[in-house]
Structure 1
């Protein structure tokens, strides 16, 4: 009678293609495989955090749930959307690594997506937006960025990855790489057209929106050459920094003192257009959503409309339109 030993837990480093593969090298390969610049930039923030937590020489095959938990601990107090965005980056990296035979286990198996709290109206009142856009106390870069986001109703990542070469100032449009990787155009109005050239200050190449400091030329924090202005040496403004500045600044106008998110500028632009009577196909052309069903939350008229129709129907009005 033969006795078959119960199989022990497999050693990840014994699988083909895993030996000698560091997490840093795997992350670099994974990011290079992402064709959409906006997706690549979003994933880079999360995966840079992963490399910093475990060290650049840590074998990718030895990644464990506690490593991912330590990465996500940074965003444990963040909004559900932020938590889910970073978790999606880890899950995408894990799926890719498993397909490449670099990783056997699933280090993300103990982490769960969070359910976003539903809010009745995410649109920012137009009068408060006007204060943000025109207040000279705010830096020119921020005022241009916020106004451009609102005018174009684009995603923040799409605008942050713009280069000067992508701008068509004459026709008030810019070529962006959309969420799915397609090249599309977004358009802005007169308020943006008046202040955008001041921000560029004669620059003809490099990122449109620059960080406050010069980018390091070497070391782990050195950005790609395409993300550095050839004139000033400053790097591209990052999404976390742009979000922080908008949230802290807008907290002064938010009645709840929590501040608003960059995505709410896109939401506000589309909802304000819906309130002005624009049709769903027109909103789809502006937002570049692939499906009309995705516009449902934008075309749902909110608090401003409720206040207006309540006032118009108030029986105590002294004057009524004849």
Structure 2
């Protein structure tokens, strides 16, 4: 990643922090890029105040930096993320003895927006899958692939990066389970249902071989040129499907993850089981979906109860 030109002391700290994220923390390339973008913004602001190394960072600098971001129109969720980046960096810098005290301990940022994630209703999901089934009838390999990807995204709640990284031998068709390599290189096993199993099997039997090329390797899902499908392609497919529905707040593959979690809880699944399926390290992260379910329950009550 190209960094803004910084004083040598700050630039050296960025390099060390990047090694920490990719090595010790095993963060994904996308996550590292986001951290470094936020950090470069902070340190460029600090350099503008005459700070040349991390030891010069003070709480006031961090607050003024966030204030400048707010004045520039950054959302509450963006400000919260950037404050979290600052805390992660200064905590690391303290451990590395680049600073004597952590200036971010009293740093406060706006809470993230409380909006609930967009999810598909059962009827919307049924329409989407019906369209995918219709498109796959003639055996077009891309249509077979798209149906299998969407069925698997919904069946397992995997992240789009996890889906793109799947290999054929990550599937256990007999047990209908999937081996997933998640954040921090943590491996988990996720079950999937019969519709997803049939869609994936159809893709492997009738579709994948038509797209496979010499450099396909073991990738489960392939692009038009035979290489492993990338996240951008998956997002484009799902975005187009949601736009075709026309009546949903869902926007991309992550909405299928939200939908899977919400429907599991609506169906009575245990919260900790959903945590394990989604690969959340903290139960608190999973609990947002209980709010989604309660919101759906409240709407149903208001629509159906005579005295609502």
- What TM-score do the two structures reach when normalised by structure 1? 0.57
Match of 2:173 in 1: 169
1:40 aligned residue (13, 21, 28): 28
The two structures, once aligned, show a CA RMSD in angstroms of 5.1
Asked whether the 8 Å contact 1:46–1:90 carries over to 2, the reply is: no
Matched, 1:201 2:208: yes
Structure 2: give runs of 5+ residues left out of the alignment.
1-5, 39-51, 55-60, 100-107, 137-141
Query: How do 1:243-322 residues align onto structure 2 when only pairs under 5 Å count?
Result: 243-255=235-247, 259-300=250-291, 301-310=293-302, 312-314=304-306
- What TM-score do the two structures reach when normalised by structure 2? 0.60
1:111-149 per-residue CA deviation (whole Å, 9 max, x = no partner) reads x97753323563321211222233135953333222212
Quick one: structure 1 residues 41 and 210, their matched pair in 2 at CA, closer, same or farther if it must change by over 3 Å?
Answer: farther
- State the distance in 2 between where 1:83 and 1:20 align: 23
Asked whether the 8 Å contact 1:168–1:174 carries over to 2, the reply is: yes
Asked whether the 8 Å contact 1:134–1:143 carries over to 2, the reply is: no
1:45-87 per-residue CA deviation (whole Å, 9 max, x = no partner) reads 548989xxxxxxxxxx999x9xxx9xxx9xx999866786688
* Of 132-141 and 83-92, the range deviating more from structure 2: 83-92
Superposed displacement of residue 43, structure 1: 2.7
Superposed displacement of residue 189, structure 1: 0.9
Quick one: structure 1 residues 250 and 88, their matched pair in 2 at CA, closer, same or farther if it must change by over 3 Å?
Answer: farther
Query: How do 1:1-322 residues align onto structure 2 when only pairs under 5 Å count?
Result: 12-13=7-8, 29=19, 32-33=22-23, 36=26, 39-43=27-31, 45-46=33-34, 115-119=111-115, 122-136=118-132, 137=135, 139-140=142-143, 141-197=145-201, 198=203, 201=208, 205-213=217-225, 232=227, 234=228, 236-238=230-232, 241-255=233-247, 259-300=250-291, 301-310=293-302, 312-314=304-306
Secondary structure (helix, strand or coil) at the match of 2:180 reads strand
Quick one: structure 1 residues 207 and 93, their matched pair in 2 at CA, closer, same or farther if it must change by over 3 Å?
Answer: farther
Secondary structure (helix, strand or coil) at the match of 2:118 reads coil
Aligned residues: 269
Asked whether the 8 Å contact 2:10–2:53 carries over to 1, the reply is: no
